[in-house]
Structure 1
Amino acid sequence: MDSNTIALAGQQALWTALLVGGPLLGLLLAIGLAVALVQALTQIQEPSLAFVPKMLALAALLLLGGSAGMAIMRGFTERLFDQIVSVGGMG
């Protein structure tokens, strides 16, 4: 096994995780910041006020962009399996 192949697979895995999870985490960060600002300005310290908007936004983003995330993960998996086959010499 070539260590470069393993390192490349790890790099691709991290890049895929960033592509799939990055927009989700960015949206949740922005919403959390906005809710924290509203809570600080109004002095309302209701825990559900911070949780519910994040959950609704996450559900909406997963419904709208879930297929794109799955396509990215499928492409990564196909490339990874191709690399496994090329390393194993069974192709």
Structure 2
Amino acid sequence: MTPDFVIGFARQAIETTLMIALPMLGVGMLVGVTVSIIQAATQIQEMTLTIVPKIISIFLVLLFAFPWIMNKMINFTTQIFINLPNYIG
């Protein structure tokens, strides 16, 4: 194992992790900004008004994106197991 291989492998793992997390993080951010703008406009500063819509929206995105997420994770894991003899040798 060369340092270049380890860096490339770590880069691929981080990219996969970010790709999987991106839908939930993006929707959570958009909902948070939208609720914050509405709170600023109406001057309603209730904390549950911020948390509940984020939780619901992130759960819904996770529900719809789950097949895609599982496909990405299975492909990454399959590639690791297929190339395992190359990594050891």
User: Percent identity over the alignment?
Assistant: 33
* Other structure's SS at 1:45 match: coil
Matching residue of 1:48: 48
Normalising by structure 2, what TM-score?
0.91
* Other structure's SS at 1:44 match: coil
Matching residue of 2:38: 38
Q: Please say if 1:27 is aligned against 2:45.
A: no
Which sections of structure 2, spanning at least 5 residues, go unmatched? none
Shift of 1:67: 1.3
Alpha-carbon RMSD: 1.2
Task: Tell me how far apart the structure 2 counterparts of residues 22 and 70 of structure 1 sit (CA, whole Å).
Answer: 14
Shift of 1:82: 2.9
* Other structure's SS at 1:54 match: helix
Task: Tell me how far apart the structure 2 counterparts of residues 88 and 19 of structure 1 sit (CA, whole Å).
Answer: 27
- Tell me if the contact between 1:9 and 1:80 (Cα under 8 Å) persists in the aligned partners: no
- Tell me if the contact between 1:24 and 1:58 (Cα under 8 Å) persists in the aligned partners: yes
Which sections of structure 1, spanning at least 5 residues, go unmatched? none
* Other structure's SS at 1:49 match: helix
Residue correspondences, number:
89
Task: Tell me how far apart the structure 1 counterparts of residues 77 and 4 of structure 2 sit (CA, whole Å).
Answer: 18
* Other structure's SS at 1:46 match: coil
Task: Tell me how far apart the structure 2 counterparts of residues 83 and 2 of structure 1 sit (CA, whole Å).
Answer: 15
